[in-house]
Structure 1
Amino acid sequence: MRVAITGAGGFVGRSLVDRLLSDPRIDHVNAFDRLEWSAPRHERVTAVIGELSDPDMIEAVVADVDVVVHLASVLGGSAEAAPEAARRINVDCSLAMMEQLARKGSDKRFVFASSIAALGNALPDPVTDGVEPRPVMTYGAHKAMIEVAVRHAAGTGRLDAIALRPSGVVARDGLDAGLKSAFLSRLFWSVRRGQDIVLPVARDSRTWLASIRNVAGNFAHAALVPDLGPERVLTLPALSLTFGALADALARSFPTSRSHVHFSPEARAVEMFGSFPGLRTPAADAAGFTRDVDVDSLVRDAMTNGDAS
């Protein structure tokens, strides 16, 4: 099996490349990114640098592969700042990629990285498979648009397509502190290094998290499983937990750390990152996707694979 990955130099992309290379079913990985990155020196990896806004690059992505895993996108704050430029990458390029892949054959698989941002903020408790997307941010709206295209392509048989919505993926070291969500990963590394940290949420604020190892494994599953099942837009399983429980788990994992975790809630941060309800994902569970076993295993697997920069 030959797999192409866009955004391969990103946090999830790097871990996914490594995960696929460990599977004997994978003959080759074409790893695309817009920036130079330290791709694995491996005979089964070809790293390609280029812009998806270039039609020739999209053709290169879909050429001579069985599966495309499309991770590349313009993320939240950048999409809000430049919505038209973000739309060209997040929507136009994604649709063009699907169209060109479908021309190669209806058996080709397209795995799209959506986001829980597609769901919006006004969520029921618990969130289940029946929740309709109501995005409030440009980034989430773009993801929801491609979810519609994925569902249509799969339903009409034009493409073996699926969209996956991961939750907060932890824990990337050195994440840009300018990102509003950066504190999610910074918490892990601060405790590991014995550094104090102030979180802009309350101890009982609740979020959805998944380790990088878990998320990479779920995208690999989507690429490799013979039958994706009937549901083609899935919220991936994740742990619904409080920041207090996470801080306690980090203290257990690093008992000699001198770090102190302080909580100083800010209304906007609590709204965006600390007001998540319960989460139930029976369709994804039935399709073989998994969550971290518990918060302690999440910490272990986030830190094991989270130091890719």
Structure 2
Amino acid sequence: MRVVITGAGGFLGRRIAHLLAADPRVTALRLVDHADLPDLPGAECLTGDLAHPDLTARAIMGADAVIHLAAIPGGAAEADPSLAHRVNIDATMALMGALRGRGVRFVFASTVAVLGDALPPVVDDDTPPAPRLIYGAQKAMIETWLSTLARRGDLDGVALRPAGIVARDGTDAGLKTAFLSRVFHALRRGEDITLPVSPDGTTWLASVENVARNFVHAAFVADLGPRRVLTLPALTLRFDALVAALQAEFPDSAARVTHAPDPAIMAAFGRQPPLLTPAAEALGFARDADARALVRAAF
């Protein structure tokens, strides 16, 4: 199979690229991004902006599957709505349009941000989108169009919603979710950290390894069935359980973990209810086994 990854220079894209480079089912790998790309033997690298039709045409030439990660995320989308629209909507719509009728598997990186903040007591496959921010709204728009094209038989696409991917080192401290990754590296290095959530708060987490494997799996599933928007399985963890797992993994760490709950952070990331994902699990998508497995896979 000939596979293309857009946004291959990012945190998740790099891990997916390494998995595919080692996969015997992959006969050709093309990496696309506007930033630095991983140096993988045999991989073709294209640097540029998918807003340019010529690059899009080159990127998808001969492809059997396209994993589309390129996006303007979160706070960056709020800060520059015009740029976010050009990348998250216009370029993605153009890419899907170029793939229509080609029989190419299209794997789109959506987000649980489409669900918004006012979550029900349990989130499942039938929880309706209610995005609050531009990023989530734009992803929800693409989900709708992808589902329409798939229902019409024009595009063999699937949208995957990952949650709480950890643990990128050097995460921008200005990001509201930065603490979710920073706590991993603070415990490993023995650095004190104050978390903006309460010990008994809950959040959804998945290791980058787990999410990357789920995206690779999506490229190869023979029959995705009628549902083309899938929330990926994730662990629902209390923060004290996460800290305990990190302390067990790094028993010699001198790091002290304290809590100073921020109401806004708690509302967005600290009171997440149980997450049920039977549709994805029925197709073979998986979560990290437990908190210790999450910690080990995150590194």
* TM-score bin (small chain): over 0.9
Shift of 1:40: 2.5
Gaps of 5+ in 1: 304-309
CA distance in structure 1 between the partners assigned to 2:285 and 2:228 by the alignment: 13
Q: Which of residues 207, 225, 229 is equivalent to 2:225?
A: 229
Aligned-partner SS, 2:20: helix
Shift of 1:271: 1.1
Per the alignment, residue 39 of structure 2 pairs with: 40
Matches within 5 A, 1:266-305: 266-303=262-299
Distance 1:263 1:229 in 2: 44
Q: Note the alpha carbon deviations across 1:209-251, whole angstroms, 9 max, x for none.
A: 0001100000000011211222100100000011111000000
Q: Supply the distance in 1 between the matched residues of 2:252 and 2:33 (Cα, whole angstroms).
A: 39
Q: Which residue pairs with 2:93 in the alignment?
A: 95
Q: Structure 2 CA distance, aligned partners of 1:101 and 1:8?
A: 19
Q: Which runs of 4+ in 1 moved over 6 A?
A: none
Contact 2:188 2:253 in 1 (8 A): yes
Distance 2:172 2:73 in 1: 13
Instruction: Please report the TM-score for the alignment, with normalisation by the length of structure 1.
Output: 0.95
Cα separation, 1, equivalents of 2:82 and 2:50: 15
Q: TM-score with structure 2 length normalisation?
A: 0.98
Pairwise CA distance, 1:86? 0.5
Structure 2: distance between partners of 1:60 and 1:136: 35
Answer with 210-219 or 54-63: which moved more: 54-63
Which residue in the other structure is 2:201 paired with? 205
Cα-to-partner distance string for 1:5-42 (whole Å, 9 max, x where unaligned): 010000100000011112100011100011123x2330
For 1:19, the equivalent position in structure 2 comes to: 19
CA distance in 2, matches of 1:214, 1:131: 23
Q: Distance in 2 between matches of 1:228 and 1:67?
A: 14
- Unaligned 5+ segments in structure 2 are none
Question: 2:49 maps to which residue?
Answer: 51
Amino acid at match of 2:145: A
Describe the SS at the equivalent of 1:208. strand
User: What corresponds to 2:110 in structure 1?
Assistant: 114
Partner residue, 1:174: 170
Q: Structure 1, residues 135-168: CA drift from partner, whole Å, max 9, x if none?
A: 0000000000000011111111001000000001
RMSD (Å) for aligned C-alpha atoms: 0.9
The CA deviation at 1:57 is 1.4
Q: Per-residue deviation at 1:295?
A: 0.6
The residue type equivalent to 2:60 in the other structure is: V
Q: Which residue of 2 aligns with 1:307?
A: none
Structure 1 residue 132 displacement after superposition: 0.6
Confirm or deny that 1:73 pairs with 2:38: no
Q: Which residue of 1 aligns with 2:28?
A: 28
* CA displacement at 1:197 relative to structure 2: 0.3
Where 2:95 maps in the other structure, the secondary structure is: helix
Q: Which amino acid aligns with 1:98?
A: M
Counterparts of 1:239-278 in structure 2, within 5 Å, are 239-278=235-274
Map Cα deviations across residues 151-199 of structure 1 (whole Å, 9 max, x no partner).
1111110010000000010001111112111111000000000000000
Q: Distance in 1 between matches of 2:136 and 2:126?
A: 18
User: 1:61, 1:68 within 8 Å by CA — same for their partners in 2?
Assistant: no
- The one-character-per-residue Cα deviations of 1:71-90 (angstroms, maximum 9, x if unpaired) are 01001111111112201100
Matched to 2:248, the amino acid is R
